[in-house]
Homo-oligomer: A and B are copies of this chain.
Amino acid sequence: MWVESVPNFSNGTDRALLERLIRAARRSGATVMGAEQDEDHNRAVLSLAGSGEQVLDALMATAEVAVREIDLRGQRGIHPRIGAIDVVPIIPLGDTPMTYAAQLADQLGKRLGQELGLPVFLYEHSATRPSRKNLADVRRGGFEGLARRMVHDVPDYGPSNPHPSAGAVAVGARWALVAFNCYLSTEDLEVARAIAQSVRQSSGGLVGIKALGLYLARQRAVQVSMNLVDYPTTTLAEALERVRAEAGRRNVRVVRHELVGLMPLRVLLEAAERYLQLPGLGLDKVVELNLARSAIEQVMVPPPGEV
Which A residues are within 8 Å of any B CB, using their own CB?
2, 4, 31, 33-34, 47, 49, 93, 176, 236-237, 240, 254, 256-259, 262-265, 268-269, 271-272, 274-279, 281, 284-292, 294-296, 298-301
- Give 7 new A-B contacts, CB below 8 A, not counting A2-B291, A259-B285: A4-B287, A237-B276, A256-B279, A257-B276, A258-B278, A292-B299, A295-B295
Interchain CB contact under 8 A, A265 and B240: no
Interchain CB contact under 8 A, A31 and B291: yes
Interchain CB contact under 8 A, B262 and A290: yes
Integer count of this chain's copies in the complex: 2
Interchain CB contact under 8 A, B290 and A292: no
Q: Which residue of B lies closest to A258 (CB)?
A: B278
Interchain CB contact under 8 A, B49 and A287: yes
Sampled A-B contacts (15; CB under 8 Å): A2-B291, A4-B287, A34-B284, A34-B285, A47-B287, A237-B275, A254-B277, A256-B279, A258-B278, A259-B278, A262-B284, A262-B287, A268-B268, A271-B272, A288-B301
Interchain CB contact under 8 A, A285 and B256: no
Interchain CB contact under 8 A, A291 and B49: yes
Question: Please, how many angstroms separate the alpha-carbon atoms of A275 and B270 in the complex?
Answer: 12
Least distance between A174 CB and chain B CB atoms (Å): 14
Interchain CB contact under 8 A, B286 and A264: yes
Q: Which residues of B contact A295 (CB under 8 A)?
A: 291-292, 294-296
Q: Which residues of B contact A289 (CB under 8 A)?
A: 265, 296
Least distance between A253 CB and chain B CB atoms (Å): 11
Q: Which residues of B contact A256 (CB under 8 A)?
A: 277, 279
* In the complex with contacts A256-B277, A275-B275, A287-B93 CB distance below 8 A: yes
Question: Please, how many angstroms separate the alpha-carbon atoms of A300 and B278 in the complex?
Answer: 22
Question: Please, how many angstroms separate the alpha-carbon atoms of A300 and B276 in the complex?
Answer: 21
Question: Please, how many angstroms separate the alpha-carbon atoms of A298 and B296 in the complex?
Answer: 14
Q: Which residue of B lies closest to A32 (CB)?
A: B290
* In the complex with contacts A262-B285, A271-B275, A277-B256, A291-B33 CB distance below 8 A: yes
Most buried by B among A240, A265, A289, A294: A289
Question: Please, how many angstroms separate the alpha-carbon atoms of A291 and B49 in the complex?
Answer: 8
Question: Please, how many angstroms separate the alpha-carbon atoms of A145 and B274 in the complex?
Answer: 43
Interchain CB contact under 8 A, B275 and A287: no
